[in-house]
Amino acid sequence: MAPPRLLLVGAGGHGRAVLATLRDAGWPEPAGVLDDDPACPGLPGLPWLGPVSRAAALRAEGLAAAHVALGANALRRRLGEQLLALGFDLPPVVHPSAVLAGDARLGAGSLAMPRVVLGAAARAGRHAILNSGCIVEHDCRLGEACHIAPGAVLGGGVRVGNEVLVGILAGVRPGIRIGDGALIAVGAAVVADVAAGSVMGGVPARPVRQGAPPPAPPPGR
């Protein structure tokens, strides 16, 4: 079945990366982009169709599929769930250079960027970002709206909660559990379980902030 024509939500840097992935993968050119910035220039070659509140009207006009191209985990999850409630399909987007095991699964609205590896029986929840060159090994479970940043490596059987950010070039030992809303800093080496809301950094990773609620996402992106 041919991939659908998408409505994109978010015209920032991550939106440009998503658009490049779609074009590399041979998807139909998206219908346009929604963004709440009134000065939004759209995305390269795509028109700005208005603020996010126009999604319901565009669904009524016949657009049936969408992708939330925003890097902020909580915002991406919230808007993705709103689009699902409006009746949009949120098909996973996979770059042609990504390597997904035959029994690996990506949830609705998820994204696998260039050179991603998703191992045997691994699962990523809805609205997840697997960013360029990350490796998610066998039997990992990723919660909703998590972000595995470029070059990060998760060993086998890691459990990642909802809205977690695993930073660039971070490494996570096999079998580790990372709680909801945690943030793993750039280059950290995680060798013990991480409590929800914690910020971890260093080699080996230690708490920078432990057990606090995750920070609010920045507006718009």
pLDDT tens for each residue of 55-100: 999 999 999 999 999 999 999 999 999 999 999 999 999 999 999 9
CATH no. for 93-209: 2.160.10.10
Q: For the chain, how are helix, strand and coil distributed in percent, rounded to 5? A: 15, 25, 60
Instruction: Report d(CA 203, CA 171) in Å as an integer.
Output: 10
**42-46, 67-71, 136-140, 158-162: which has the minimum mean pLDDT?**
42-46
**35-39, 41-45, 163-167, 209-213: which has the minimum mean pLDDT?**
209-213
Q: What pTM, to 2 d.p., does this model score?
A: 0.92
The domain made up of 6-85 has a fold known as: Rossmann fold (3.40.50)
Residue 218 pLDDT: 44
Long-range interactions of 192-200: CB distance < 8 A, separation 24+: 196/161
Take residue 62 and report the two structure tokens written for it.
């016949």
Q: Residue 217: which pLDDT band, with cuts at 50, 70 and 90?
A: very low
Q: Residue 40: which pLDDT band, with cuts at 50, 70 and 90?
A: confident
Domain locations in the chain?
Answer: 6-85, 93-209
CA distances from 201 to 168, 174, 187 (A): 12, 18, 8
> In terms of DSSP H, where are the helices of 36-113?
55-60, 73-85
Q: Residue 219: which pLDDT band, with cuts at 50, 70 and 90?
A: very low
Residues 6+ apart with CB under 8 A from 61: none
Residue 210 pLDDT: 54
Instruction: Report d(CA 46, CA 65) in Å as an integer.
Output: 16
Q: How confident is the model over 126-149, as pLDDT tens digits? A: 999 999 999 999 999 999 999 999
